[in-house]
Amino acid sequence: MPDVRDEVVVSYPEWVYDVVRFGDRYTSDEDRMRLAIELARQNVLRNTGGPFGAAIFERATGALLSVGVNSVVRLNNSTLHAEMVAIMTAERRLGSFTLAGAPAVEYELVSSCDPCAMCLGAVLWSGVRRLVSGADRDDATALNFEEGPVFPQSYDYLQARGVAIRRGVLRQDAAGVLDLYRRRGGPIYNA
Amino acid sequence: MPDVRDEVVVSYPEWVYDVVRFGDRYTSDEDRMRLAIELARQNVLRNTGGPFGAAIFERATGALLSVGVNSVVRLNNSTLHAEMVAIMTAERRLGSFTLAGAPAVEYELVSSCDPCAMCLGAVLWSGVRRLVSGADRDDATALNFEEGPVFPQSYDYLQARGVAIRRGVLRQDAAGVLDLYRRRGGPIYNA
């Protein structure tokens, strides 16, 4: 019979509901990125995880569908990077295994940092049509957060399959949260 | 306040408890692969997901820690490939975000098929010290299951970080489950 030890529950830290209003509209890339960065910053300040935040928006309207914060340490789960949490909860909200299910509505994922290899793959499978990132992989590796096997052709691969990509949006602000985490001595859990 | 719509629950299909005995020992690579393939086959026959299975073992003793079956359609979650489910539940059982936490015990992940880009990244973050796969990426792409941005240097990257890799174990048997899925007309959910 089922063993409760095999049930994995992924949920937001409670502060998310104080900081985020789902359905609010974020019209520009910069507005959307400011939310992703604020999620990363709050995750550091409230000691709920690594310095990474992400959010998924309706591409045209900017309506906020879901968010994610790094939850590796909080939930004892190495797969729960911010992007993964945002994708899982977006699909949970839609009740669908793909965000490309309603072709009239396109979704995009905005991440406070370039995605790692796992998350870049997950972006492809999620059905989002655009990826926007803030801090550069070099900003993360300077903190000893590794990105894994991501190569220039990894981005080419996604673009060839219809995922538009824009990197470096508010990069300095996004990298500032990485620096905040370093100064506070947060754990580097995948070193 | 927390919204139940944001709670993502990952669990096995119930038949897993009829097929699998956790803690049993699987001594050879082939024994371990036969379990991964059987999980993939049962997932197809019982209509609970795509034709992929995985399991995590103590490397030295072969004691079974966790399993995974593709759960994308069943749980409406594009990230729930077999390897991801195996990693998440292994960490849940250990109560740790890394399987490398107790250096005296090494773990390995055995997958019925070469991992996609997402899962290959997840293997790296999981802390398993070895990856064993069965069917080749070419077997999967022949079925229109895409692997994503995985390149020869992706494997090199993992090996350089101490993850041993052996591919092609019982490849024909593993590919047979992909063919079974095709003959039954199962959905290709990431095409």
Q: Give the integer Cα–Cα distance in Å for B12 and B86.
A: 10
Give residue A113's pLDDT. Answer: 98
Q: Could you give the ipTM of this predicted complex?
A: 0.96
Give residue B190's pLDDT. Answer: 66
CA angle A86-B13-B58, nearest 5°? 85
Q: What share of chain A is helix, strand, coil (3-state, %, to 5)?
A: 40, 15, 45
From the list B1, B12, B91, the residue facing A76 with the nearest CB is: B91
pLDDT surpassing 60 at residue A55: yes
Q: Rounded mean pLDDT of A66-88?
A: 98
Q: DSSP string of A78-134?
A: TT--HHHHHHHHHHHHHTSS-TTSSTTS-EEEEEEE---HHHHHHHHHHT-SEEEEE
Using a CB-CB distance cutoff of 8 angstroms, which residues of chain B are in contact with residue A75? 97
A76 contacts B92? CB cut-off 8 A? yes
- A9 contacts: CB under 8 Å, gap ≥ 6: A75, B7, B8, B9, B10
Q: Give the integer Cα–Cα distance in Å for B140 and B114.
A: 8
From the list A11, A77, A124, the residue facing B6 with the nearest CB is: A11
* Count of CB atoms situated within 10 Å of the CB of B172: 10
| Proportion of chain B above pLDDT 70, given as a percent | 98
Using a CB-CB distance cutoff of 8 angstroms, which residues of chain B are in contact with residue A148? 121, 124-125, 157
Return the residue matching tokens 């692969």.
B33
pLDDT surpassing 90 at residue A17: yes
Give residue A2's pLDDT. Answer: 74
Q: A142: pLDDT confidence band, cut at 50, 70 and 90?
A: confident
Q: Phi first, then psi: give them for residue B131, nearest 5 degrees.
A: -125, 130
Q: A101: pLDDT confidence band, cut at 50, 70 and 90?
A: confident
Q: What is the pLDDT of residues B48-99, one digit of tens each?
A: 999 999 999 999 999 999 999 999 999 999 999 999 999 999 999 999 999 9
pLDDT surpassing 60 at residue B34: yes
